[in-house]
Structure 1
Amino acid sequence: MMKAKRIILAICVLFNTCLGLAASDIHAEEDQVIKVGYPIQEGLTDIDENGNLSGYTYEYIQEMALYNGWQVEFVQAEGSIDESLITLMDMLEKGEIDLMGGMSYSAAMDDIYDYSSRSYGIAYTTLVILNNKTFIVDSTQMQHVRIAVHKNANMRLRELNEFCEMNLIEPEYFYYDSTEAMLNALTSGEAEAMLSTSAEKVDGVRTVAKFAPKPFYFITTSGNSSLIQEINLALQNIEQTNPYFMSEMESKYFSHGHDELILNDDELAFIEQGNVFKAGVLTNQPPFQYEANGELKGIAVDVLKAIAEKTGLNIELIAVSTPGQLDQMMADKEIDISLAMTYDYDLAEELRIQMTNPYLEAQYIMMMNDTTNTDDLRDKTLALTKTVEYSRIETSSTKWYDTIEECVKAVNNGEADYMFGDNYMVQYFINQPQFSNVYLIPQTYDVRRICFGVVRQPNHHLLNIMNKAVMTFPDEEMQTIIFLNTTYENDYNFKDLINKYPLTFIFMISSVSAVIILALVWGLRTKIKMSNKIQLDLKKHLQVYELSSDHFFEYDYASDILMISRKGAGGESVESFTKHGEMSETDERGQFYEQVFFKLLKEGKDTSHDLLCPMENGDLHWYRFIFKTVCDDLGNPAYCIGKISDIDDEKKEKERLEKQAQLDSLTGVYNAAASRTQIIEELNRLAADQHDGLMLIDIDDFKHINDSYGHLNGDKVLCNLAQLLKNNFDAQRCLIGRPGGDEFVVYVRDTNREELGQLCEKLLACVADMVNDDEIHVSVSIGAAIASAGDRFETIYQRADEAMYNSKRNGRNCYEIIG
Structure 2
Amino acid sequence: MDRCKMNSHTPLVLLLLGLLFLHQTLFATIALTEEERSYIATRGPVRSISIDGSGPLQYTDSQGQMRGIAFQILDEISNRTGLSFATTMYGQIVQVGAAFTDGSDMIFGLPEQYARKGYVLSIPMVRSETIFFANTSIQPQELQGKRFAAVYKSVLPEGVSEDQARYYESLQEAILAVNSGSADYGYGNPFSLAFYTLQYGLRNIYTIPQGREERAYRILFLKDDPLLVSIINKALASFSPQELQNMILEATSQVERIITPAMIMDTYGGEIFTLTLVIILILVAALTHILFSRSKLDLEQRKFKAIAEVSNEYLFEYEAVRKHLILYERFRTLFTSPSSLEKAKETLATHLATSEEGSLLALELPDGTTGYFKVSATKVLVRKRNAQLWVGKLQDISKETERLTYLENLAQLDGLTGLLNAATTRRIIETRLEQKHLEEMDACILFDIDDFKAVNDKLGHLAGDKVLQALATIMLENPCSSQDILGRIGGDEFCAYLVGIPSQEAALHYCTTLLEAVRTTLHTEGVTISLGFAMVVGPQTFEKLYTQVDQAMYRAKENGKDRIEVASQT
TM-score (norm 2): 0.47
Q: Which has the higher helix share?
A: 2
Q: Which has the higher strand share?
A: 1
In terms of Rg, which structure is larger?
Answer: 2
The higher-RCO structure (CA 8 Å, 6+ apart) is: 2
